[in-house]
């Protein structure tokens, strides 16, 4: 078997894809080896048979049977037809309208997936994006494929399926490198680095963000520098170097403010708040989280990505609750938790509602109000079961058990 890329592969929503490459190809264990000449790639979906790389033509599905019978003849009787005959049989006029219609369908599926993602239906969103990816692959739109891989990766992250998220993210990076898309490389590297952070792989994450910073500086991409420095600061924070993290994040904030992206600026403010909190600087912690919260509230109805803005708002509230609780400002902490629960309820986000109940439980436990703390723990446990989050359910049950044991000794 030649080392060349000769293959047979089934694609999602495509009946068949075959590449013939002037090399020997074994079809199945029941057949002998056949020599196929020239290059032909075949895809079939509901509307068209797509012939690419050699002729790059679209055939109506009505002609599929004749073409397929012809190809079977070639496979079973390789000496019967020559390469020139194959070329002549498969040559058809290019149907631009079919390509345009396919692209419009794919674009619609991308928008549909984005709406589903904003509605918290990540599973449905991924299904839509996978369908779009199939079509972009069919018509050979490499740039669009890269963008959809990016969306799919983020969708898996939102579902907590980190292992599955890494492959589409790395495919996105590969496409950006192949096409010399430097901005695409910057954002792909940041997405991969963020994924590594979530997996607890802090050193590889920092290295990935550093590569992104280098590219952003070389091409003088202001937005990329702000994003990459912000994420590098967060990775540095996770590695325990608080002072370096604060410097990186303060620098990132300068770049963030040079672009009209309120969500990005609020995200960096939250990162900086995390760094101040870790360093025990509660005054700057409260001020920074407060700025992030105000920005998220002001832009709530004016941003293109309401889900990301909502995430910033909830994250700022969480940071402020922790900071105020740490300095004994319990009344302010309760006010913030009320805002958090309202926001989670209005957005019908059960995961965030669970986190709100958990935060209430921790605060009441800290104050020694065990009956009320128990009530919130139990409400959080019910939501964990509803969400089928067994790990969170076990953790909450353990906390509740430990609290009840401690309360008996007081």
Cα 190 → chain centroid:
11
DSSP string, 171-200: HHHHHHHHTT-HHHHHHHHHHHHHHHHHTT
Using the 8-state DSSP alphabet, how is residue 54 labeled?
Answer: S
* Domain definitions of the chain by residue range: 7-93, 349-410
Residues 267, 227: Cα–Cα separation, whole Å: 9
List, in order, residues 6 or more apart from 188 with CB less than 8 Å away: 146, 150, 169, 172, 173, 176
**Facing residues of 60 across strands?**
48
Residues 186, 223: Cα–Cα separation, whole Å: 10
Q: Report which of 291, 329, 334, 331 is spatially closest to residue 313, judged by C-alpha positions.
A: 291
Residues 35, 210: Cα–Cα separation, whole Å: 49
Q: Report which of 140, 197, 144, 136 is spatially closest to residue 166, judged by C-alpha positions.
A: 197
**Facing residues of 40 across strands?**
20
Residue 22 confidence (pLDDT): 33
H or E stretch at 57: strand 57-60
Plot region of 22 (φ>0 → left; ψ -120 to 50 → alpha; else → beta): left
The three-state DSSP-derived secondary structure of 7-45 is: EECCCCCCCCEEEEECCEEECCCCCCEEECCCEEEEEEC
Give backbone dihedrals phi and psi of 5, rounded to 5 degrees, phi first. Answer: -85, 70
Residues 315, 160: Cα–Cα separation, whole Å: 17
Cα 266 → chain centroid:
20
Residues 263, 312: Cα–Cα separation, whole Å: 7
Domain 349-410 has CATH 1.20.58: yes
Neighbours of 240 (CB within 10 A): 10
Neighbours of 380 (CB within 10 A): 26
Residue 86 confidence (pLDDT): 43
Residue 207 confidence (pLDDT): 97
Give backbone dihedrals phi and psi of 229, rounded to 5 degrees, phi first. Answer: -65, -35
Question: Does pTM surpass 0.75?
Answer: no
Q: Provide, for the chain, the percentages of residues in helix, strand and coil under a 3-state DSSP scheme, each rounded to the nearest 5.
A: 70, 5, 20
Which stretches of 200-309 are assigned E, i.e. beta strand? none
Residue 69 confidence (pLDDT): 53
Rg (CA), the chain: 27
Q: In the Cβ-directed half-sphere of 71, how many Cα atoms lie within 13 Å?
A: 20
Q: Report which of 189, 263, 194 is spatially closest to residue 219, judged by C-alpha positions.
A: 189
Angstrom CA distances, 370 to 276, 281, 335, 339, stand at 31, 30, 20, 23
Using the 8-state DSSP alphabet, how is residue 61 labeled?
Answer: G
Using the 8-state DSSP alphabet, how is residue 216 labeled?
Answer: H
Q: Is 242 helix (H, G, I), strand (E, B) or coil?
A: helix
Q: Report which of 329, 333, 384, 332 is spatially closest to residue 359, judged by C-alpha positions.
A: 333
Interaxial angle between packed helices 262-278 and 306-326, expressed in degrees from 0 to 180 and rounded to the nearest 10 = 20
Residue 87 confidence (pLDDT): 47
Low-confidence ranges of the chain (pLDDT < 50): 1-65, 67-68, 74-75, 78-94
């Amino acid at each position: 078997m030649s080392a060349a890329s000769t293959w047979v592969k089934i694609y999602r929503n495509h009946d068949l894809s075959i590449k013939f490459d002037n090399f020997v190809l074994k079809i199945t264990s029941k057949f002998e080896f056949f020599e196929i000449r020239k290059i032909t790639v075949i895809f079939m979906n509901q509307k068209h048979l797509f012939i690419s790389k050699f002729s790059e033509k679209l055939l109506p599905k009505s002609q599929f049977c004749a073409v397929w019978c012809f190809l079977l003849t070639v496979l079973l009787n390789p000496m019967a037809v020559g390469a020139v005959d194959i070329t002549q049989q498969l040559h058809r006029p290019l149907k631009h309208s079919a390509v345009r219609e396919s692209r419009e369908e794919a674009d619609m599926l991308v928008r549909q997936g984005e709406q589903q993602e904003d509605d918290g239906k990540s599973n449905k969103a991924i299904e839509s994006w996978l369908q779009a990816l199939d079509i972009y692959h069919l018509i050979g739109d490499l740039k669009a494929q890269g963008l959809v891989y990016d969306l799919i990766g983020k969708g898996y992250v939102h579902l907590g399926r980190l292992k599955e998220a890494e492959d589409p993210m790395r495919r996105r990076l590969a496409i950006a490198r192949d096409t010399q898309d430097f901005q695409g490389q910057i954002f792909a590297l940041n997405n991969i680095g963020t994924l590594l952070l979530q997996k607890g792989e802090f050193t590889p994450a920092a290295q990935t963000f550093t590569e992104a910073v280098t590219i952003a500086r070389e091409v003088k991409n202001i937005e990329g520098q702000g994003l990459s420095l912000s994420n590098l600061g967060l990775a540095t924070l996770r590695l325990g170097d608080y002072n370096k993290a604060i410097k990186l994040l303060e620098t990132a904030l300068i770049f963030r403010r040079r672009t009209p992206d309120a969500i990005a600026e609020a995200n960096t403010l939250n990162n900086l708040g995390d760094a101040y909190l870790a360093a025990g600087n509660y005054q700057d912690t409260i001020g920074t989280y407060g700025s992030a919260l105000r920005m998220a509230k002001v832009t709530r109805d004016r941003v293109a990505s309401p889900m990301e803005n909502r995430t910033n708002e909830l994250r700022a509230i969480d940071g402020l609750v922790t900071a105020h609780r740490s300095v004994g400002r319990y009344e302010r902490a309760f006010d913030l938790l009320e805002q958090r629960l309202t926001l989670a309820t209005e957005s019908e986000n059960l995961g965030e509602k669970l986190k709100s109940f958990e935060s209430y439980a921790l605060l009441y436990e800290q104050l020694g109000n065990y009956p009320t703390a128990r009530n919130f723990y139990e409400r959080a446990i019910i939501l964990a079961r509803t969400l089928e989050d067994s790990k969170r359910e076990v953790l909450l049950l353990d906390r509740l058990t430990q609290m009840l044991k401690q309360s008996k000794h007081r």
